Amino acid sequence: MSVIIGIKMNSFIENKLLNEVKSKILTIVLFFGLWLLLYLNLEAITNLLIFSLIDLTPKTNLTDAVWFFVFEVPKVLLLLVLIVFVVGIIRSYFSPERTRKMLGGKKLFAGNVMASLLGIVTPFCSCSAIPLFLGFVESGVPLGVTFSFLIAAPMINEVALVLLFGLFGWKTAILYMSTGLLIAMISGYIIGILKLERYVEPWVYEIKAGHMEMAEEKTLFAERITAGLDAVKEIVSKVWIYIILGIAVGAGIHGYVPENFMASLMGKSAWWSVPIAVVLGVPMYSNAAGIIPIVQALLEKGASLGTVLAFMMSVIGLSLPETIILKKVLKLQLIFAFVGIVAVGIIAVGYLFNLIY
């Protein structure tokens, strides 16, 4: 009798889970059907709002700025929701603990490559810099490999890629990702061959950060869908204000900053613009959501691609809060070496793209 009851219970649970999966899939299909409808008609909706409902005069500075803002805010948010959802599902296959184990024991360069690639899909923020660093050291991950991960994770994230794709197209997004990966790999490799372990605070090697148990493996795709939805809620709720502020600044630049002024300041002819852009970007703090709309406006006003890419990489990749937090585990010599090596790589990328484009 108990066996029959158990079989019925299992059948009931399986049917319930199946219905939940079907319900989630139907909701997602309907949602992204609406998403596609809005995205494809966004320009027409913006024109209707600006020129019919608000009745602004075409071809004025104010109209250009308002049109830029009204069009870009929903466009960027729509793209962000889509990509964050997809990446959230991918991230459900990873965890910081699993990442540590994957990188443990890896040799230089091979480890730098893997660490940089994992940095794209592994959850990371400035506040997690120390726990990740300690966990990597405990797992036997070489110092250079650790830095490849710490560089790639904030610099090449889904927010940066979706905004670049939405504002500049897939070629620029791939360009940014590939050069960011290259900087992370080479910078970590250089830090590794320089043998800078002596500039890590001694207590880091003396402690044993407790082994964290692996999170239970998610085997149901419904759970991965939930992870994607949770990622949308978490990330979009944190960055939407930066998106609006960044696009507002970009709209002002787009509508009112003269093209000749920006071209003379950040154009190809100004050879000093790339290092100055990096020097200005290093102490600043912003994220991709806030800085990329500004980058778009700068490019439209005549700034060169290499210069604005260098500025953006220095702001995102050399986060001031992360650098301050890492001071708890690194001596100043290693922090300066880290910032200097990455900055030189970013400057080289800036000059390269100014030369090519």
**Residue pLDDT, tens place only, 262-279:** 666 776 667 788 888 888
**Residue pLDDT, tens place only, 93-144:** 666 566 666 666 566 677 788 888 877 766 555 555 566 676 677 667 788 8
Per-residue pLDDT at 263: 62
Q: Is the pLDDT of residue 297 over 50?
A: yes
For residue 215, name the pLDDT band (cuts at 50, 70, 90): very low
Please provide the average confidence, as pLDDT, over all residues in the chain: 75
Q: Is the pLDDT of residue 260 over 80?
A: no
Per-residue pLDDT at 64: 82
Per-residue pLDDT at 209: 43
Query: In degrees to the nearest 10, what's the CA dihedral of 117, 218, 134, 137?
Result: -60
**Residue pLDDT, tens place only, 135-190:** 677 667 788 888 888 888 777 766 677 777 776 778 878 888 888 888 889 988 89
By mean pLDDT, which of 3-12, 195-204, 220-229, 259-268 is the weakest? 3-12
For residue 357, name the pLDDT band (cuts at 50, 70, 90): confident
Percent of the chain at pLDDT exceeding 70: 70
Per-residue pLDDT at 96: 57
Per-residue pLDDT at 212: 41
Q: DSSP for 56-106?
A: PPTTSHHHHHHHHHHHHHHHHHHHHHHHHHHHHHHHTT--HHHHHHHHTTP
Q: Positive or negative, the Cα torsion across 156, 161, 167, 172?
A: positive
Mean pLDDT of the region 305-334: 79
- Helices and strands in the chain: count of H runs, count of E runs: 17, 0
Q: Is the pLDDT of residue 199 over 50?
A: yes
By mean pLDDT, which of 89-93, 123-127, 210-214, 246-250 is the weakest? 210-214
0.75 exceeded by pTM: no
Percent of the chain at pLDDT exceeding 90: 0
**Residue pLDDT, tens place only, 2-29:** 545 555 455 555 566 566 667 777 777 8
Rounded Cα–Cα distance for residues 160 and 228 (Å): 18
Give the best-scoring range by mean pLDDT among 41-45, 74-78, 291-295. Answer: 41-45
Per-residue pLDDT at 102: 66
Alpha carbon of residue 66 to chain centroid:
27
Q: Helix 96-103 vs helix 143-155: angle between axes, to the nearest 10 degrees?
A: 140
Rounded Cα–Cα distance for residues 305 and 275 (Å): 14
Compare 118 and 288 and report the one with higher pLDDT.
Answer: 118
For residue 322, name the pLDDT band (cuts at 50, 70, 90): low
Per-residue pLDDT at 264: 67
Structure tokens at 21: 């999966």
User: Which of these, 347, 263, 322, 287, lies nearest to 131 by C-alpha position?
Assistant: 322
Per-residue pLDDT at 211: 42
Q: Is the pLDDT of residue 86 over 80?
A: no
